[in-house]
Amino acid sequence: MNGMPECIQTGGEMAGMELLGTVVSIRGSVVDVRFPENLPAVNHALRTGAEGKIVIEVVAHQSADTVRGIALTPTQGLSRGAPVIATGLPLRVPVGKRLLGRMLNVFGAPIDGGESFEGGEWRSIHQPPLPLARRSAKMEMFETGIKAIDLLSPLERGGKAGMFGGAGVGKTVVIAELIHNMAGRYQGVSLFCGIGERCREAEETYREMLESGVLERAVLMFGQMNEAPGARFRVGHAALTIAEYFRDEEKQDVLLLIDNIFRFIQAGTEVSGLMGRIPSRVGYQPTLATELAELEERISSSRTGAITSVQAVYVPADDFTDPSASHTFSHLSASVVLSRKRAAQGFYPAIDPLASNSKMLNPAVVGDRHYRVAQDVRRMLAEYEELKDIIAMLGLEELSEMDRRTVNRARRLERFLTQPFFATEQFTGQPGRWVGLEQTLTGCERILADHYADAPENALYMIGTIDEAKLDAGGDKA
């Protein structure tokens, strides 16, 4: 071990049997290392460079004495002949309650300026999915307290929901509200995983969570856009290791928010290209389905806790047949679509009620009443959408009496499905509202029954339960 920095020789990750190797080839993030004796196992971590700061993960065995790895850090300054230490362990991250309120990277190192995590329990980021025998097969709704989501695209406890939306439509606000409601109602833990996040987005997310008071029940993990593709590719696995600890050891429900699942696939494409694999359809890696399943199948519920995931999904060129989108859809149980048009109209949260859907919206799961009300609301809003062109050309007066009634109900439903958020209290000055599913269904039923036909539309805008509209509407018009 002559010439090796002392920290590499005695580092905490190198408690296992240490093997000394030599760099024989460097091509960007791809590093080949020769070990004269035993080869380190696939997925094990190697360290090299000044003070061991360059971390490499073994991806393949090239020959009897050479391994190929992907660097998870920049390889600047690394040269052929440089000594390499095999740690004898996979990449690991700290776990436990000490992580609450902290922001860290794929290596488990803090990036919030706080103290580093010394000692305690560390776990490998490579964990097998929960065995089927230990999984909960019960389909159970995850109530969020957000009217539009609970009514039209209910989330599944232990399931995976996709959130579709561009910049500026309120995606981060909905995520912050979900974290607040999770902490307040379920006494659970929220875990935000930023894959390929911009530095600006990471800083804004951290600050908004801090200001809204939800950070103390949350853990943030980022693999930022400027980091090596290997780090972005593994940050999702690292976040899931932390989530699994809270589910299995602390017996808590975990809300896992991933932004953005497309960037995970994109990082995998970069790694695959660096490794020299022949690309598959549309240039994606041939192992796309397997790599996505390795991540998604770890998100599940046990009999004592559940990991419920909400994932932001970018659809390239709005092409839902793109392999990245179609493979992601096969794992999702609910889709929540955020609409820029609704955001421009001031309907927050800007959830598109016609484009959003859920596999949970089934009479056998949510019950006949919920299913019936959701279908009636969606039908009313769809009919209103069809009438908008006629209204724009001829005016409301030209509609039949039945169509006018449809427009009246639909406009009131649109406003009732808006809601003030706890996460935006400091910006709007309006107290947030948690609205239970029962209260949401009752409110929609009353509007559909024309109880508020004579009430001003604004009486239903940005309220919680339907009872809050009575004061402005002059009482129930039944």
From CA 234, how far away is CA 81, in angstroms rounded?
27
Residue numbers in the chain where pLDDT is lower than 70: 1-18, 470-478
Q: Tokens representing 270?
A: 């970069």
Among 57, 156, 177, 197, the one annotated catalytic: 197
Measured CA distances, 220 to 66, 177, 213, 239, 276 (Å): 36, 15, 14, 9, 33
The whole-number pLDDT of residue 168 equals: 75
The whole-number pLDDT of residue 425 equals: 86
The whole-number pLDDT of residue 198 equals: 83
Q: Tokens representing 180?
A: 């607040």
Among 80, 97, 134, 198, the one annotated catalytic: 198
The whole-number pLDDT of residue 4 equals: 33
The whole-number pLDDT of residue 14 equals: 38
379 as an active site residue: the answer is: no
Q: Write the CB contacts of 6 (distance below 8 Å, at least 6 apart in sequence).
A: none
Among 92, 171, 217, 412, the one annotated catalytic: 171
The whole-number pLDDT of residue 282 equals: 87
197 as an active site residue: the answer is: yes
Count CB-CB contacts under 10 A for residue 119: 8
> Which tens digit of pLDDT belongs to each residue from 337-355?
888 899 999 999 999 999 9
Stated pTM of the model: 0.84
Measured CA distances, 109 to 99, 170, 359, 445 (Å): 11, 30, 38, 51
18 as an active site residue: the answer is: no
